[in-house]
Amino acid sequence: MSQYSSTQGPSAGSLLRARVEGGHGKVTNIELFFDLVFVYAITQLSHTLLQALNLVGAVHVLLLFLAVWWVWVFTGWITNWLDPERLAVRVMLLALTFAGLLLSTSLPDAFGEHGLLFAGAFVAMQVGRTLFMLWAMGRDAPAANRRNIIRIAVWLSCSGVFWLIGGSLGGEIRFAFWVVALTIEYLGPAAYFYVPGLGRSSTAEWDVEGGHLAERFSLFVIIALGESVVVTGSSFAQTARQADTIFAFAVAFLGCVAMWWIYFDLAADRASHAIRHSSDPGRTARLGYTYLHLLIVAGIVVSAVGDELSLSQPHARCDIASVAVLIGGPALYLLGNALFKMTVNQISFPLSHLVGLGLLVLLVAPAFLLSVLWLSALTTAVLILVAAWETLSLRSVRRMLSEEASH
């Protein structure tokens, strides 16, 4: 994760984005095309979890989700620095799109026959993209920036060994190797990609264009919400038009709207403003976007599974699996949003989110006496309450952002 400083800028013919002081780099069409693959990936993950709604299935899907999120995040960082309008960068992104499609197709059977396909596609994306970045920087890049990318390549290559060995093995041995690989991947940024002899990176070297990065991550949240809409619509289309299924459909839609409102009504713009004006945008991007957004997206994916449950079996009595999904999804989403807002905006834990999480906890005990549909309705009501509370309590912040945008 490296880039030329904002004062130096890329040289003529460089594959790096041109930076304008105080500007906001646009998200390009080729980046959005790459993201389409992850609509399919998230759909694959939610369906895989629904078909194996037990502890082992949940752990497997969690590992796969963390891998999918990580490969997208690293690509998001790289395209923050590279110029997707350049032909070489476009070809690289199209190659990543193809590899991402292969990875997505392998997800349902990643712990079966398609383990090596999943691992091979993942490693090719992680290592290949990083080596491309090293080449794209050119020989004239500052030595510190080149060392930074080399450190990242070392970390990803080390984890790649475990991904590939695990993919070639089976059973619990595969899972163990992949846990080690994923641990290496996630420890990298936290350890500043320390490599003996090369030292460690600093967040000052991760010179991101905050506005572009914030927009990229908000678009991924839209992708996840879009997958939830697709699941809801597809499930409703396959059910009889009865009062209970129409009610379940309305509840699922309102839950999706509340999630959109909690993130996009104010939080996305406020966070974008904060990272654009941050003295250390790399640090903000690492924690607020790279790590904490995975809780937000995970919450949406799990909630989508809950929506499908409420549509397919609305009158079923809640068991441990359905309670975990119906309460756990909104809880993950609220927790992720709260921590994200705390980190980026440097505020205390939002009271609206704290109350919402408390209400979800209080629902756990009586949940086993309720039907899937009514528990879904209650958790949706909690999300609507949080959205309304935050909207009313942050009116002054909204006015401030509107005034700054008008100047």
pLDDT, one tens digit per residue, over 366-395 is 999 999 999 999 999 999 999 999 998 887
Can you tell me which residue has the tokens 């752990």? 59
146, 216: one domain: no
124, 215: one domain: no
320, 231: one domain: yes
pLDDT score of 309? 92
**Which tokens belong to 128?**
């290949």
Q: Is residue 8 part of a domain?
A: no
Cα dihedral 394/396/400/405 (nearest 10):
60
Residue in 344, 353, 363 with CA at minimum distance from that of residue 261: 353
Can you tell me which residue has the tokens 């299924």? 245
The DSSP symbol for 242 reads -
d(CA 209, CA 352) in angstroms, rounded, equals 30
Type of residue numbered 122 = F
pLDDT score of 4? 46
Phi and psi at residue 171, in whole multiples of 5°? 65, -145
259, 113: one domain: no
pLDDT score of 403? 64
112, 239: one domain: no
- From 178, 201, 224, the end of a domain falls on 201
pLDDT score of 10? 53
168, 228: one domain: no
pLDDT score of 286? 85
Q: Is residue 3 part of a domain?
A: no
The DSSP symbol for 37 reads H
- From 201, 236, 259, the end of a domain falls on 201
How many domains are there within the chain? Answer: 2
Q: Is residue 359 part of a domain?
A: yes
268, 370: one domain: yes
Q: What is the span of the domain harbouring residue 177?
A: 29-201
196-202: Cβ within 8 A, 24+ apart: 198/147, 198/150, 198/151, 198/154, 199/147, 199/151, 200/151, 201/1, 201/2, 201/148, 201/151
Any residues with CB less than 8 A from the CB of 117 and at least 6 apart, and which? 102, 103, 105, 106, 167
> Do 335 and 295 meet the contact criterion of CB atoms below 8 Å apart?
yes
pLDDT score of 241? 81
d(CA 239, CA 325) in angstroms, rounded, equals 21
pLDDT score of 252? 94
The DSSP symbol for 279 reads S
Phi and psi at residue 27, in whole multiples of 5°? -80, 125
Mean pLDDT by 10 residues, the chain (407 residues): 46 70 77 91 92 92 96 92 92 96 96 96 96 85 82 95 94 94 94 89 77 91 89 83 89 96 90 84 87 95 93 92 96 97 91 96 95 96 96 78 62
**Which tokens belong to 223?**
């992708």
- From 167, 201, 235, the end of a domain falls on 201
In the chain, the percentage of residues whose pLDDT exceeds 90 is 62
**Which tokens belong to 265?**
């009504």
Alpha-carbon separation of residue 235 from 44, 61, 229, 244, 397 (angstroms): 15, 21, 10, 13, 39
* pLDDT, tens digit (0-9, with 9 covering 90-100), for 87-135: 999 999 999 999 999 999 999 999 999 999 999 999 999 999 999 999 9
> Do 101 and 35 meet the contact criterion of CB atoms below 8 Å apart?
no
243, 112: one domain: no
Q: Is residue 14 part of a domain?
A: no
